[in-house]
Structure 1
Amino acid sequence: MGKDQSLDLVRTQTMERAKGHAVPIEFRTLSMQVTETQRSNKTGDLKTTKGKNKNKDDDVDEPETDFFSTIDFHKLNIPEVSLRFNTNETLGLSQAEAQRRLSSNGPNILDTRKPNYIKKILGYVFGGFCSVLWIGVITFFVCWQPILQPDLNPTNLALAILVASFSAFQDYSTAQVMSSIMDMIPADCMVIRDGQLIKVPASTLVVGDRVSLSLGNKVPADLRLVQASNDTRFDRAVLTGESEAIEGATHYTDENFLESKNIAFMGTHVVQGSCVGVVVLKGNDTLMGRINKLTTGRKEKVTIIQQEINRFVRIIVCLTIFLALLILSYWAGFLNVKYHEFIPVNVLLVTLMGCVVAFIPEGMPVCVSLTLMMIARRMRSNNILPKALTTVETLGCVNVICSDKTGTLTENKMFVTNIAFLDNESTPDEARTMIEKQSNSKTLPLSEEAPSVLALRQLQLATLLCNNAKFDPDTINLPVPDRTVHGDATDSALLRFSAQVADSSDLSPCFERTQEIPFNSRNKWMMSVYQGSAQNPQPIKALFGSDMMSAGMVANEKNSQLVFVKGAPDVLLPHCTSFVSGVSNIAQTLTSEWSAELSRIQMQWSRQGKRVLMLCKGRFSPYYAEGRSNVGSSISSAHQEELARQGLQELCIIGLIGIMDPPRPEIRDTIASCRRAGARFFMVTGDFGLTAAAIARQIGLFSSHREPDTYEDIANPSRKGAKNGLDASYDDLGVFEPGRPRFRE
């Protein structure tokens, strides 16, 4: 590709997008765009035009194709990324080129709508009841000396100024709250220019810049990752609402730009590891920029309370006009004729305006503003930022609330309550007691120990190694319940269980993790691959026997390595062919009877509101894997697929773990309050259906104890009692599962 062609590509990708681009939020519009996107992909036309079905109430243009569906930055390999954006893989951009692009394409900032201050001031001064009050002010001025006799009454003027001041203060307060979205962009960032790592203002970033990120940094623009440590993690909660950190990768993991793990989005945080990324989108073109445009780029619609206030104002005005005409008619037809000097004109005008002002509830706008402001401040204290005070009122019009379960309806403080082998069930306390009685819980497992103890130690090892949580070194000497754990709630519960059952501090050094596939909501499992330590093969020999000795005697690629997998039982069961007996510690064939027993345990625990995880073991031979990579480097896509394919073959079930996540104590009352307010409450979760139903009963979402209906149940044409088939059945829904994060966004 010639230099001119390369520059044309750069200009094409870095030019500012038209202001008409926005992320549509309406379902019908989105479904139409999917069709148009498919057509445009076939023809290769990536241009967008203004939407034909533009909402007349919107102030932003709707593109006919989804902007992010036309982007392929995540699919490019690293050399292609450098070529596309005309940047050097090691030196980055030069200062001169960065300055040229900054001058040509503008800074990396989010646009904000500039308010029309003249219109706002006129609205403050003459809007609502102020218009009637100003009539009174003018009338009293006319009737004031020296034109006529009555003394000036400044009350109306003071009321008009007070109401206008409250309206202005209300808008100022909400503007200050909304300005917090600008905090999503860091002030400074580290970039590579002319081969030097320097700190520059984030607003001066340009497309093609190579940005270096480390733990705690905010992502200053949308980046295509070109370097990433094996432990790189991003917190995308600000975009998706998911508290689980997303791993970073240098290869694309999804056809969708928004789902691929080699893209770091503006406003997200680096919570682990370090990485380097090339800026592919900046400012308003980023995902955060388009969300900001949706937030600020639409005209404010009149809310219900504003409609009611306007209706009330019209009624008051009509009544005051009627009263004024009645008094004026009575004065002109009777009083002025019979008693000509009784009420002069100036007194009549003052009397008329006095009656008009008496009708006006001057304090109502102030009370409404104060009430909404108090509610907005309470919401802000809970990290909820209303765009305007009218948003608070709009919440009162909500009739459907969809809530995530983990961490929202529950405390997200998980702990292990049950453990089970297919032929034996127990609790963590019983397991600890058994190990203490029959062996030394503070030493490594020995081959001479009882088979039941070795089975427990094998389960303990699986929970320890197939885990990304770590104890805080500063609290490692405290009792296990008091230790601080760094990691997600599920891994933290398993780590505490492993430490409570027996001392696990000496087990970890005996194994070296070579690769892993982190848990995600699509696969619903996590895989870790280990090779044993040649210096201490004792745990492998004791727990896995001679058939697994090749998993760690020497760090030889040709030897099989240990695979540990944890995940949902219903997902992993089709990949399992055997199970470990909790009595004999011997692998037995997984027959249909034992599969039924596993399902029984899962159903029983799930009905108690427990999350059920299954832990399995297997083998992986890296010598036969394609696209293999060195330990600690980012796993290629082909190698990850091979690891998943081979690692899931002929798994052996070690055991089941039951985890409880208690509901928040205030949730039952909250749901009851929502229902009293006329709002339907729904729970969206990725948990097993029976677990979700049990939690729903505990928080008062379900009142019935019968088995929950599934989609297949309500879609069954023979379902009895349905009024209009499937549509009628949706009135009875209360829980949606599985709710994957990409469906919740």
Structure 2
Amino acid sequence: MEHDKHDRITIVDEGVPRDEMRSLSRRNSSVSIGSGRGRVVAPENLLPITYRTLSFKVDDTSGKDVHSNKKEQEQIKGLAELDYHLLSVDELHKRLATSPQGLQSEQLSRLVARYGRNQLSPPPSRWFRTLMGYIFGGFGSILLGGCILVFIAWQPLGRPPSQANLALAIVLAVVWLLQAAFNGWQDWSSSQVMASITTMLPDQCVAIRNGNPTDLTAVDLVPGDLIQIKQGNKLPADVRLIHASADVKFDRSILTGESEPVPGSVDSTNNNFLETNNIGLQGTYCVSGAALGIVVGTGDQAVFGRIASLSNGRRTELTPMQKEILRFVLIIASFIITFVIIIIIIWAGYLRRDHPDFIDVPTLIVSCVSVGIAFIPEGLPISISMGLTIAAGIMKKNKILCKSLATVETLGAVSVICSDKTGTLTKNEMFVTDCFSGSEEYTSDAAKERMAHGIPNKSINLVRSVGGLCNAAEFDASTLDRPLHAAKVFGDPTDQAILRLSQSLGPVNELRAQWKKTFEIPFNSKNKFMVRVMKSVDEGSAYLFIKGAPDMLLSKCAYVITRNGETEALSQSDRSKIEAIKDRWSAKGKRVILMAQKPLSSDAVNATCDEKAVLESAVDGLTLVGLVGLIDPPRDEIPSVVSTLRGAAIRIMMVTGDYKLTAQAIAIECGIIRTHPDLVHDIKALDSDEGSIKQPGATTAIVISGPELADLSDSDWDRLCGYDEIVFARTTPEQKLRIVKEFQGRNNIVAMTGDGVNDAPSLKAADVGVALGSGSDVAIEAADIVLLDSFSAIVEAVKYGRLVYDNLKKTVIYLLPAGSFSELWPVITNVVLGVPQILSSFLMIIICCLTDCAGAITLAFEKPESDLLLRPPRNPKKDRLVDAKLLGHAYFFIGLYECFMSYAMAFWYMQRKGIPFSAMVLRYGSMDPKYDPDYVTQVANEASSIYFVNLVFMQFFNLLAVRTRRLSIFQQPPILNKETQNLLLFPAMVFALCVVFIFLYIPALHESIDTTTVPVEHFFLPIAFGLGLLFLDEARKYSVRRWPKGVLAKIAW
């Protein structure tokens, strides 16, 4: 049978015969990708729906045609033919030209050329839809609508056509096109930033090549690669499992939508490639156990790639900041509609009847358009986009990767940070410092010395054995020739430290060669221990080896190893001694690990090697081999980071799986707990009303363990969440999730850090999930931001999250006084009082779309104020972007001042030219015959130009004033200080001046747009008024700083 090469996508070797293709007969369901019902599906359901639809159709292969689109049919045919899950391991090796040693180097170039890189093809360009978004999105449709209406007012309604209306329409068209072009450029710029951030996200895997484990980036995988899969890994490709631990499970929810993990197996469980358990699918996660698999599908040929090619794009929801902007625009829109209706009612009910020659229909249209466009802050969308992009770029430089720009907004409101300990607050450089075995306590160096000098000590040798065998870490074979501290180790930091200890006491490879692993239960944060069942290669004996938290395992121990390696009963005095050592080491900030073993019969191992049976064997009868104490010192910068965040009124909680005393000791070292250890509360304080009452000015601290959380009532949680310093010890993933929910339920914005697979639920639930670059793939996927370097970078993240919000408020308060308030009143006084419109509609548009817009954009580049991290975080439910305080300041302080001064200058000029205000008010164009109409029009145009110049110049000083909310301009100078300067302010002012001179000093434009030159004194008087505005605002800010509880402070924006 011949097949068109585009009818299917396959990854089998050339020359291998294809099975006869089976036709498909299932018709489209209502949720099929090919359905014609136009049903809207939530983004999170798109992949599961597509996956399930394909699975049904792959199952239904009865020889009939498939009622699907051609693209879907191609994918179904390809999936139906896949049979990797049905092949034996030997057949699979032969099909993919691989072996148990993995691929060889000489094969790679041929395979890459054949299959390509392991990445998805870019989606098809939707350039037309994108272009329409640039043209009509944002305020584009309003500008275009206004442009069309003004063109209509020019012709055919204009009798005769007004050149000013034509000029206004042309300017609106130009601004509309410029905004579309800028939207396109900004979208491209933002996408470049986010794309570069995405490429920096860790995406590593371990493949066996040339017989050795090799670190690879996922895109370098090819079919035939042999890869190791461990708990927490995200599968980088479709994988056929050839070895799997009994407890291996995969989370396929991203594809299936089902939360229950799917067990993995070596044998096929279903003829359907999508449903069998011996295939691990790209994009899914290993949530427990370990496996070894051969890559059978990469890039577009993987199931994930096939589905991605069929799935529609996600519908984006509004971010919190976009909702704030929408709320603001709706407020402004309501003002626009209200005033336009008022103007139309006055015109239709009064002016049209009593003063028919005052305002004709074209003039009414232009006035209404002017009011509408003047109210819209055209510079705001650009400022938002630029501000978020700038912040994301700065965070990238600080090695903080934000997955979406929306995350930047939320960071500024974070009030609680729940931080993991290991690797976040500490250096993640764990090493063993102390050992206890055979009733003796000694340092790790002393243990090495004894073994090196051949001093007999069987108990130390057993510590070495259990530490090396019950250990998931492995040395990189290519680095074994290096000094021990420089050798590379794959695995968990605790396992790495214990493996290095074992290696220092004797070769681990020789030890492991004597034993064969038959079963493993990996360490997890629930059990807090790891188990391995192993059989001796020579003697056939079997042992259960276990290591983990002493408080979980000591009670299960019945025996103890003596110094000479003999076993004896564990007495109560032995238990007390071990408890004392554990507490003493923990109080010094050390993690304590207990090692134990238990002999098993070979028959029992072969018959009951499953998780339940092994756990039952580990319940009691263990023989305690020893303890090891490990230390992971806090990062040097952490105390200052904690202090800075505390100054920003952000509480930092430690949430760790460590023992209480260990957690408390590290918290004190990090500065999370400043209270004297004797004054730190425990759960008993929550039972006493007196114990949990906070005294004014006092700092309260509490350390509480995870198991104690279960019995807390709502009132207990209220008290607990009121503490300044909190450490949660011995927590499980479920308890971490509850901690996040409890704090969120008390009006906190919570950031949660985590690096393990079990941290994913709490990372997703937190307002901001924070993962470490070294964390598991699951944690990185669930997080909103990734810290590639250090936890200290979170300070910059919070700072710039707050800065984005601050700068947007500054942008709004800069745009409203001139671009809204001072432009509204000329229209109102014109319609209501009958005086000439003192600011022409054309110049209103110039202010909104050109002179003010330039200054607004520069505010996105403002540096943080020095007190930014000395303020409490904003409450998103109460602290709105635009509130009564901001509107009051913009309209009734700055706006009123600018409007009054501009009116005064305009009417004073007309007075000097012989046209007093009394000659115009309530005249509605019917002035005393002694005033020549042409002369009045000329003077009114000059007054309009003066009003325009006055506003532009005073906005320069408003721009300088709004740079800070409370600080003086001398504390935040715009020049000569790299920490505070914004040198873009002055080019924006020069641009505005150029616009002024273009429209006022080119004679050819005067007749078309009704502008004139302005007497020189009217360039200097606005400077004086602007300085007055700056002085008044400086006095207001001083009052706010001097009397923080005064009236001005309470109404300050």
Query: Following the alignment from structure 1 to structure 2, what is the Cα–Cα distance between the partners of residues 615 and 12?
Result: 59
What is the deviation of 1:579?
1.8
1:659 aligned residue: 630
2:514 aligned residue: 512
What is the deviation of 1:366?
0.6
Q: Deviations over 1:281-311 (max 9, x none)?
A: x99987x999x89997764333332222122
Counterpart AA for 2:403: P
Query: Following the alignment from structure 1 to structure 2, what is the Cα–Cα distance between the partners of residues 678 and 283?
Result: 51
Query: Following the alignment from structure 1 to structure 2, what is the Cα–Cα distance between the partners of residues 613 and 250?
Result: 33
**Equivalences, count:** 593
Q: Deviations over 1:434-468 (max 9, x none)?
A: x3xxx6x546x4xxx36xx5544443444344434
Structure 1 counterpart SS, 2:627: strand
Counterpart AA for 2:624: I
1:493 aligned residue: 497
2:594 aligned residue: 614
Q: Would you say the 8 A contact 2:556–2:618 is kept in 1?
A: no
Query: Following the alignment from structure 1 to structure 2, what is the Cα–Cα distance between the partners of residues 13 and 520?
Result: 45
1:41 aligned residue: none
Question: Where in structure 2 are the equivalents of 1:338-349 lying within 5 Å?
Answer: none
Q: Which one has a bigger Cα radius of gyration?
A: 2
Q: Would you say the 8 A contact 1:213–1:219 is kept in 2?
A: no
Query: Following the alignment from structure 1 to structure 2, what is the Cα–Cα distance between the partners of residues 374 and 600?
Result: 54
Structure 1 counterpart SS, 2:606: coil
Give the direction of change, closer, same or farther, for the CA distance of 1:317–1:701 in structure 2 (3 Å limit).
same
Match of 2:530 among 522, 525, 532: 525
Q: Deviations over 1:517-561 (max 9, x none)?
A: 443315522336364xxxxxxxxxxxxxxxxxxxx8xx243xx35
1:137 aligned residue: 147
Give the direction of change, closer, same or farther, for the CA distance of 1:370–1:713 in structure 2 (3 Å limit).
same
Q: Deviations over 1:226-266 (max 9, x none)?
A: x22899999999999xxxxx99863799xxxx9x9966341
Query: Following the alignment from structure 1 to structure 2, what is the Cα–Cα distance between the partners of residues 671 and 411?
Result: 15
Q: Would you say the 8 A contact 1:219–1:268 is kept in 2?
A: yes
Query: Following the alignment from structure 1 to structure 2, what is the Cα–Cα distance between the partners of residues 454 and 296?
Result: 65
Q: Deviations over 1:113-169 (max 9, x none)?
A: 999877665554334433443344335545669932237255433433343344445
1:149 aligned residue: 163
Q: Deviations over 1:102-123 (max 9, x none)?
A: xxxxxx9999999987766555
What is the deviation of 1:337?
8.3
Q: Would you say the 8 A contact 1:109–1:283 is kept in 2?
A: no
Query: Following the alignment from structure 2 to structure 1, what is the Cα–Cα distance between the partners of residues 47 and 227?
Result: 37
Query: Following the alignment from structure 1 to structure 2, what is the Cα–Cα distance between the partners of residues 600 and 399?
Result: 38
Give the direction of change, closer, same or farther, for the CA distance of 1:647–1:344 in structure 2 (3 Å limit).
closer
Structure 2 counterpart SS, 1:300: coil
Q: Deviations over 1:337-359 (max 9, x none)?
A: 89969x99877866765565444
Query: Following the alignment from structure 1 to structure 2, what is the Cα–Cα distance between the partners of residues 404 and 14?
Result: 53
Q: Would you say the 8 A contact 1:419–1:428 is kept in 2?
A: yes
Q: Would you say the 8 A contact 1:231–1:273 is kept in 2?
A: no
Query: Following the alignment from structure 2 to structure 1, what is the Cα–Cα distance between the partners of residues 446 and 249?
Result: 39
What is the deviation of 1:394?
4.9
Counterpart AA for 1:622: S
Structure 2 counterpart SS, 1:417: strand
Give the direction of change, closer, same or farther, for the CA distance of 1:94–1:327 in structure 2 (3 Å limit).
same
1:42 aligned residue: none
Give the direction of change, closer, same or farther, for the CA distance of 1:639–1:148 in structure 2 (3 Å limit).
closer
Gaps of 5+ in 1: 1-9, 23-53, 72-81, 96-107, 191-201, 203-210, 241-245, 532-551, 628-636
Structure 2 counterpart SS, 1:463: helix
Is 2:577 aligned against 1:597? yes
Q: Would you say the 8 A contact 1:464–1:498 is kept in 2?
A: yes
TM-score (norm: length of structure 2):
0.45
Match of 1:737 among 731, 735, 740: 731
Q: Would you say the 8 A contact 1:418–1:659 is kept in 2?
A: yes
Counterpart AA for 1:415: F
Counterpart AA for 1:138: I
RMSD of aligned C-alpha atoms? 6.3
1:569 aligned residue: 550
Query: Following the alignment from structure 2 to structure 1, what is the Cα–Cα distance between the partners of residues 378 and 500?
Result: 62
Q: Would you say the 8 A contact 1:515–1:529 is kept in 2?
A: yes
Q: Would you say the 8 A contact 1:513–1:528 is kept in 2?
A: no
Counterpart AA for 2:732: P
Give the direction of change, closer, same or farther, for the CA distance of 1:406–1:737 in structure 2 (3 Å limit).
same
1:536 aligned residue: none
Structure 2 counterpart SS, 1:709: strand
1:580 aligned residue: 561
Q: Deviations over 1:351-399 (max 9, x none)?
A: 7655654443322111100112233445667584635x44543555667
Match of 1:366 among 382, 389, 401: 382
Counterpart AA for 2:627: L
Q: Would you say the 8 A contact 1:214–1:275 is kept in 2?
A: yes
* Higher share of residues assigned helix: 2
Query: Following the alignment from structure 1 to structure 2, what is the Cα–Cα distance between the partners of residues 230 and 58?
Result: 34
Query: Following the alignment from structure 2 to structure 1, what is the Cα–Cα distance between the partners of residues 152 and 294?
Result: 73
What is the deviation of 1:411?
3.5
1:386 aligned residue: 403
Identity of aligned residues (%): 28
Q: Would you say the 8 A contact 1:464–1:494 is kept in 2?
A: yes
Counterpart AA for 1:577: A
1:467 aligned residue: 471
Counterpart AA for 1:149: Q
2:136 aligned residue: 126
Q: Deviations over 1:687-718 (max 9, x none)?
A: 445444554555555566334334664555xx
Give the direction of change, closer, same or farther, for the CA distance of 1:323–1:407 in structure 2 (3 Å limit).
same
Q: Would you say the 8 A contact 2:484–2:500 is kept in 1?
A: yes
Question: Where in structure 2 are the equivalents of 1:423-438 lying within 5 Å?
Answer: 423-432=439-448, 435=449
1:417 aligned residue: 433
1:37 aligned residue: none
Query: Following the alignment from structure 1 to structure 2, what is the Cα–Cα distance between the partners of residues 666 and 295?
Result: 46
Question: Where in structure 2 are the equivalents of 1:445-464 lying within 5 Å?
Answer: 445=454, 449=455, 453-464=457-468
Query: Following the alignment from structure 1 to structure 2, what is the Cα–Cα distance between the partners of residues 14 and 698?
Result: 67
Counterpart AA for 2:532: M
Counterpart AA for 2:510: S
Give the direction of change, closer, same or farther, for the CA distance of 1:367–1:112 in structure 2 (3 Å limit).
same
Query: Following the alignment from structure 2 to structure 1, what is the Cα–Cα distance between the partners of residues 93 and 27?
Result: 19
With 702-711 and 368-377 compared, the bigger mean Cα shift is at 702-711
Query: Following the alignment from structure 2 to structure 1, what is the Cα–Cα distance between the partners of residues 407 and 423?
Result: 25
TM-score (norm: length of structure 1):
0.60
2:226 aligned residue: 214
Q: Would you say the 8 A contact 1:681–1:734 is kept in 2?
A: no
Give the direction of change, closer, same or farther, for the CA distance of 1:506–1:234 in structure 2 (3 Å limit).
same
Match of 1:480 among 476, 481, 484: 484
2:808 aligned residue: none
Query: Following the alignment from structure 1 to structure 2, what is the Cα–Cα distance between the partners of residues 693 and 261?
Result: 44
Query: Following the alignment from structure 1 to structure 2, what is the Cα–Cα distance between the partners of residues 18 and 185?
Result: 36
Give the direction of change, closer, same or farther, for the CA distance of 1:319–1:284 in structure 2 (3 Å limit).
farther
Q: Deviations over 1:666-705 (max 9, x none)?
A: 6666667777878776665444454445545555555663
Structure 2 counterpart SS, 1:306: helix
What is the deviation of 1:421?
3.4
Query: Following the alignment from structure 2 to structure 1, what is the Cα–Cα distance between the partners of residues 279 and 463?
Result: 36
Give the direction of change, closer, same or farther, for the CA distance of 1:511–1:116 in structure 2 (3 Å limit).
closer
Q: Would you say the 8 A contact 2:248–2:263 is kept in 1?
A: yes
What is the deviation of 1:611?
1.9
Query: Following the alignment from structure 1 to structure 2, what is the Cα–Cα distance between the partners of residues 422 and 525?
Result: 22
Query: Following the alignment from structure 2 to structure 1, what is the Cα–Cα distance between the partners of residues 46 and 250?
Result: 31
